[in-house]
Amino acid sequence: MQTEVENIAGYDYDTKEAAISPVTTKELDQLMQTISLDSEDLRYLRLAGEVLENQTESIVNAWRGVISSTPHLAIYFKDANGNTDESYKMMVKERFKQWIMDVCTKPYDQDWLNYQHKIGLWHTNETNAAQTPSHIPLRYIIGFSAVVNDTIKPFLVRNGHSLSVIEKMHKAWCKAVLLHVTLWTRAYCIEGEW
């Protein structure tokens, strides 16, 4: 697993190259309280991580299916001539797959905060050598979380947990996605507004 993670381009989680998040630990705590993301949710996220571990390729493919069939979203994988940037798409796929596992398994600490900050910056000003548009509007980042939350459910049922446990995993997932998206919005905000 470790070797694989080391091979994910741009995945500089927990390295000196990561940007430092301007979000304080106190702000993070208060945001988690606002979302009501509690210790029970974190336990169900760990469980969701076990269920999703071998399905991340299929999950990202499901999201990409929706993106590909939505013209105003599909352009973010295309160059100025309308051709899909396959190498970029392949590179970020590995980061997306790893993101699913990180949502479920990582401690929400300073390293994690720093990486969320970097994801926010990526979306506002793409630093990869990609041919795709460099800026993704905030409304699509927030809006697409509905798809991310809807599509995860069939993947959560695969390990035969009870309906009640599946519901709790799903609720925890939705709260965690909201936490991530909220952190990413910081890069889009007027100073002091976030």
Least CB distance from residue 43 to its own copies, whole Å? Answer: 17
Q: Partners of 84 in the beta sheet?
A: 78
Q: How far is the CB of 193 from its own copies (least distance, A)?
A: 4
The CA distances from residue 193 to 137, 147, 187, 188, 189, in Å, are 17, 27, 11, 10, 6
Taking CB under 8 A as the rule, which mask of x and - marks residues 48-77 in contact with its own copies? ------------------x---x-xx----
144 lies in the site for its own copies, by CB under 8 A: yes
Distances (CA, A) of 83 to 3, 74, 168: 32, 10, 41
Name the token pair of 180: 């991530």
Q: Binding residues for its own copies, how many (CB under 8 A)?
A: 40
Residues that bind its own copies (CB under 8 A): 27, 30-31, 33-37, 66, 70, 72-73, 124, 135, 137-140, 142-147, 149-150, 171, 174-175, 178-179, 181-182, 185-186, 188-190, 193-194
